[in-house]
């Protein structure tokens, strides 16, 4: 499938489907995810018309990719559905050693092995998109050998490649170097820097941009109005610094006017991302079918008015100072 064939911008993130994912006994993913729930989410997503699935070989150390592969095999039994109806984006570069240590490896040798392993888990012959997974911000994109990547494209194993960046500044360096043609970056109603930094980049038209963390790791939900961090559970969120948690809660509370609009805070925050010109697809994660169906409602939200967009900008004009470059 090509980007132009996507019927809408709503995709599906699958980090949650990888489950707890312990590294040296430390949970680096989310809460436990059982197979029945994971497959139900994926099959419902395909049936509902979601055509973009984002994953990574490190989500549950391959578990999320395995679930996607199972869902694809089950869905292809339907005579009216085939693999070409969805775009699959996966990532590589985070490798777990025998002793449990996680290291980053973007070498050509690991690249080839990672692609073949992901294809096997996904039960696919090709990847629509392969992304470098959270490389260092100072990665030297200009001098990275693109030969093996281009050979994978020629061999038909991947269609496109690019980078899932830790920050918008890392994404900018990718665009500066004209590396690949897909960028994945944080974008949500609280952190709108992708629009102001990437949206005006002179190479923007050469890239498709995937908006990740559209609900600010779950802080853009009605729970924020309780102003109680304990409401947000464990998993990945337990690793977020306390001052960031405080900022998320305080900032989300300033958007209480979105709660009063049709759909509430979560759906309007997601609609904000879907309606942004700087983003080509949005990938909220889900942990159950209720969340999936709620996210689909964002497709029906009327275009946010200029007045609402102005209220958002006035309520949360910028990100915390400690998120900005020194």
Residue 213 in any domain: the answer is yes
Closest CA to 216 of 182, 199, 192: 192
Residue 11 in any domain: the answer is yes
Please, are residues 45 and 74 in contact by the beta-carbon 8 Å criterion?
A: no
User: What pLDDT, on the 0 to 100 scale, is given for residue 30?
Assistant: 67
pTM of the predicted model as reported, rounded to 2 decimal places: 0.95
227: left (phi over 0), alpha (psi -120 to 50) or beta: left
Query: How far, in Å, are 9, 105, 182 from residue 1 at the CA level?
Result: 14, 29, 15
β-strand pairing of 127-133 with 158-164: parallel
Please, are residues 131 and 161 in contact by the beta-carbon 8 Å criterion?
A: yes
Query: How far, in Å, are 74, 222, 232, 267, 303 from residue 263 at the CA level?
Result: 33, 11, 21, 5, 13
Residue 26 in any domain: the answer is yes
User: What pLDDT, on the 0 to 100 scale, is given for residue 80?
Assistant: 78
Q: Which domain holds residue 117?
A: 3-317
User: What pLDDT, on the 0 to 100 scale, is given for residue 135?
Assistant: 97
User: What pLDDT, on the 0 to 100 scale, is given for residue 23?
Assistant: 60
Give the E-state strand segments of 101-249 in sequence order: 102-104, 127-133, 158-164, 182-186, 208-212
Closest CA to 211 of 193, 186, 189: 186
Residue 83 in any domain: the answer is yes
User: What pLDDT, on the 0 to 100 scale, is given for residue 210?
Assistant: 98
User: What pLDDT, on the 0 to 100 scale, is given for residue 27?
Assistant: 59
Please, are residues 158 and 118 in contact by the beta-carbon 8 Å criterion?
A: no
DSSP-based three-state secondary structure for 296: helix
Query: How far, in Å, are 54, 176, 272 from residue 205 at the CA level?
Result: 22, 13, 21
Residue 143 in any domain: the answer is yes
C-alpha 44/C-alpha 61 separation (Å) is 24
Residue 324 in any domain: the answer is no
> CATH number of the domain that 264 lies in?
3.20.20.100
User: What pLDDT, on the 0 to 100 scale, is given for residue 14?
Assistant: 96
Each residue's pLDDT expressed in tens, for the chain with a length of 326 residues: 889 999 999 999 999 998 766 565 565 666 778 999 999 999 999 999 999 999 999 999 999 999 999 999 988 877 777 889 999 999 999 988 888 788 999 999 999 999 999 999 999 999 999 999 999 999 999 999 999 999 999 999 999 999 999 999 999 999 999 999 999 999 999 999 999 999 999 999 999 999 999 999 989 988 777 666 666 666 667 778 989 999 999 999 999 999 999 999 999 999 999 999 999 999 999 999 999 999 999 999 999 999 999 999 999 999 999 999 87
Please, are residues 68 and 42 in contact by the beta-carbon 8 Å criterion?
A: yes
C-alpha 134/C-alpha 185 separation (Å) is 10
C-alpha 231/C-alpha 248 separation (Å) is 13
Closest CA to 54 of 1, 82, 6, 90: 90
β-strand pairing of 87-92 with 22-23: unpaired
User: What pLDDT, on the 0 to 100 scale, is given for residue 22?
Assistant: 59
20 CB-contact burial (10 Å; exposed 0-12 / middle 13-18 / buried 19+): middle
Residue 326 in any domain: the answer is no
DSSP-based three-state secondary structure for 100: coil
**Taking the mean position of all CA atoms in its chain, how far away is CA 121?**
19
User: What pLDDT, on the 0 to 100 scale, is given for residue 316?
Assistant: 98
User: What pLDDT, on the 0 to 100 scale, is given for residue 234?
Assistant: 60
Helix (H) or strand (E) holding 281: strand 281-282
C-alpha 124/C-alpha 93 separation (Å) is 20
**How many structural domains does the chain have?**
1
Residue 210 in any domain: the answer is yes
């Amino acid at each position: 499938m090509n980007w132009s064939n996507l019927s809408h911008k709503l995709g599906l993130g699958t980090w949650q489907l990888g489950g707890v994912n312990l590294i040296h006994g430390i949970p680096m993913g989310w809460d436990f995810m059982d197979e029945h729930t994971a497959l139900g989410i994926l099959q419902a997503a395909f049936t509902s018309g979601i055509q973009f699935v984002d994953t990574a070989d490190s989500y549950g150390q391959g578990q999320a990719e395995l679930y996607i592969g199972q869902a694809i095999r089950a869905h292809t039994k339907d005579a009216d559905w085939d693999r070409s109806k969805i775009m699959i984006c996966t990532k590589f570069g985070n490798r777990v050693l025998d002793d449990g240590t996680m290291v980053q490896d973007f070498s050509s040798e690991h690249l080839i092995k990672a692609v073949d392993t992901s294809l096997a888990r996904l039960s696919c012959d090709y990847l629509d998109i392969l992304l470098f997974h959270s490389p260092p911000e100072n990665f030297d994109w200009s001098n990275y050998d693109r030969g093996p990547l281009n050979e994978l494209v020629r061999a038909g194993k991947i269609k496109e490649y690019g980078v899932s960046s830790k920050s918008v500044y890392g994404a900018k360096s990718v665009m500066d170097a004209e590396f690949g043609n897909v960028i994945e970056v944080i974008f949500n109603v609280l952190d709108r820097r992708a629009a102001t930094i990437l949206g005006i980049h002179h190479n923007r038209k050469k890239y498709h941009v995937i908006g990740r963390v559209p609900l600010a790791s779950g802080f853009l939900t009605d729970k924020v109005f309780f102003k109680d961090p304990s409401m947000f559970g464990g998993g990945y969120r337990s690793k977020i610094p306390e001052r960031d948690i405080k900022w998320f809660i305080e900032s989300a509370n300033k958007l209480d006017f979105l709660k009063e609009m049709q759909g509430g805070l979560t759906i309007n925050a997601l609609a904000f991302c879907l309606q942004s010109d700087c983003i080509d697809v949005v990938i909220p994660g889900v942990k159950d079918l209720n969340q999936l169906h709620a996210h689909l409602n964002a497709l029906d939200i009327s275009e946010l008015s200029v007045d609402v967009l102005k209220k958002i900008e006035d309520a949360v004009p910028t990100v915390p100072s400690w998120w900005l470059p020194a």
